[in-house]
């Protein structure tokens, strides 16, 4: 906790602690994102930061509106009731008040919402990373189990292997529950399974708990899950390649061939009409083509599996 978070917590920490039940989803997201910031500190920081952002932008935009007299650039040409005509003399003050109130609500609310959804975004990134690295982590677990290493020591070894990404982080929390809090392996698996953002990791840990509780062959369970996730990975990669081919065809059709057709068509129409400034042609070249390319890049990036 840094000094700013400590300041926010001292102001609102007790109130946020009393409202824990109202933020159940946020608390789950903080757990899933493995945030080191407690719920009370995070929500206190979110509220204070939202107030500061709202007040700061309200003061800044309000000052610009007042100093530059921006309301004079807006003229209403419709009919105005006689009872409201006298307000035109106070347009500067009214416009400044409106800008201040709007900025306070918009930027303050936007900052607060950003704080609320940020842990969910982090948890989503962790989920994709776990799902991508889990098959390889389970192969590692299977090898260790085949060598006769105890399950709790297996998770400690996995926790010390950063090459397995967020799967190693989840194993680190299992080892923490065992070594620091004195929990047994089943309770540690249950706690991490309840907070992990990955449904595949949760299923794997719950299956390991069932196998340990029933006295089953844990090594065989690990080997079965390794084969299952390896098969699912191959299917996922095959589907991704097929989808990538479809996107490539769509890009060539829509952005390359389609835009080329529009450029030729607009060029001919500009020549026939004698238009000196073909604005639509400029929009195609400088707006539509770059924007379309960026959209395809973002779409492919969001669909690409974690490595």
Residues 55 and 100 placed together within one structural domain of the fold? yes
Q: What is the DSSP letter of 73?
A: G
Residues 119 and 220 placed together within one structural domain of the fold? no
Residues 71 and 35 placed together within one structural domain of the fold? yes
Residues 91 and 12 placed together within one structural domain of the fold? yes
* Residue numbers of the domain that contains 240: 233-303
Q: What are the pLDDT digits (tens) for 51-105?
A: 999 999 999 988 888 787 766 665 655 555 555 555 555 667 877 888 889 989 9
pLDDT at site 226: 87
Q: Which of 14, 42, 47, 21 is nearest to 30 (CA)?
A: 42
Residues 241 and 213 placed together within one structural domain of the fold? no
* Residue after which a domain boundary falls, among 64, 89, 124: 124
Total number of residues shown for the chain: 307
Q: What are the pLDDT digits (tens) for 133-175?
A: 888 899 999 988 888 888 889 999 999 988 888 899 999 999 9
Cβ atoms of residues 5 and 36 within 8 Å: no
Residues 210 and 251 placed together within one structural domain of the fold? no
Residues 249 and 290 placed together within one structural domain of the fold? yes
Cβ atoms of residues 58 and 104 within 8 Å: yes
pLDDT band at 257 (very low <50, low <70, confident <90, very high): confident
The whole-angstrom separation of Cα 60 and Cα 169 is 43
Which of 3-17, 100-114, 265-279 has the largest mean confidence? 100-114
pLDDT at site 72: 66
Average pLDDT, whole number, for the chain?
A: 84
Q: Which of 141, 162, 163 is nearest to 153 (CA)?
A: 141
Q: Which two tokens stand for residue 42?
A: 């995070």
The whole-angstrom separation of Cα 125 and Cα 94 is 45
* Residue after which a domain boundary falls, among 66, 91, 124: 124
Residues 242 and 219 placed together within one structural domain of the fold? no
3-class secondary structure, 189: helix
Residues 80 and 167 placed together within one structural domain of the fold? no
Whether 50 has a pLDDT exceeding 90, the answer reads yes
Q: DSSP H helical segments within the chain, as ranges?
A: 3-18, 24-32, 39-68, 82-85, 91-146, 151-159, 165-179, 185-195, 199-214, 218-251, 258-273, 279-283, 289-303
275 or 199, which is more confident: 199
Number of domains in the chain: 3
Residues 223 and 256 placed together within one structural domain of the fold? no
* Residue after which a domain boundary falls, among 61, 94, 124: 124
Residues 108 and 50 placed together within one structural domain of the fold? yes
Residues 143 and 246 placed together within one structural domain of the fold? no
Sign of the four-CA dihedral 15, 18, 24, 28: positive
Residue with tokens 């098969």: 231
């Amino acid at each position: 906790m840094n000094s700013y978070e400590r300041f926010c917590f001292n102001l609102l920490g007790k109130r946020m602690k009393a409202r824990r039940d109202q933020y159940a989803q946020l608390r789950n997201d903080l757990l899933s994102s493995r945030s080191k910031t407690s719920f009370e500190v995070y929500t206190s920081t979110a509220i204070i930061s939202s107030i500061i952002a709202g007040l700061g932008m309200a003061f800044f935009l309000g000052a610009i509106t007042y100093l530059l007299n921006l309301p004079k650039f807006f003229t209403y040409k419709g009919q105005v009731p006689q009872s409201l005509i006298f307000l035109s003399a106070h347009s500067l003050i009214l416009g400044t008040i409106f800008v201040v109130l709007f900025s306070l609500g918009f930027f303050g609310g936007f900052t607060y919402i950003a704080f609320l959804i940020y842990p969910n975004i982090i948890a989503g990134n962790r989920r994709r990373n776990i799902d991508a690295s889990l098959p390889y982590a389970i192969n590692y677990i299977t090898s260790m189990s085949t060598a006769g290493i105890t399950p709790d020591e297996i998770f400690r070894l996995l926790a010390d292997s950063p090459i397995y990404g967020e799967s190693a982080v989840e194993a680190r929390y299992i080892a923490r529950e065992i070594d620091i809090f004195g929990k047994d392996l089943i309770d540690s698996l249950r706690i991490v399974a309840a907070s992990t953002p990955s449904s595949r990791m949760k299923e794997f840990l719950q299956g390991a708990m069932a196998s340990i509780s029933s006295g089953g062959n844990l090594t065989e369970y690990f080997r079965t899950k390794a084969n299952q996730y390896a098969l699912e990975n191959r299917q996922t990669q095959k589907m991704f390649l097929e989808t990538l081919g479809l996107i490539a065809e769509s890009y060539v059709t829509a952005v390359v061939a389609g835009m080329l057709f529009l450029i030729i068509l607009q060029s001919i129409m500009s020549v026939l009409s004698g238009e000196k400034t073909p604005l639509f042609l400029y929009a195609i070249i400088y707006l539509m083509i770059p924007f379309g390319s960026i959209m395809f890049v973002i779409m492919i990036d969001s669909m690409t599996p974690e490595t």
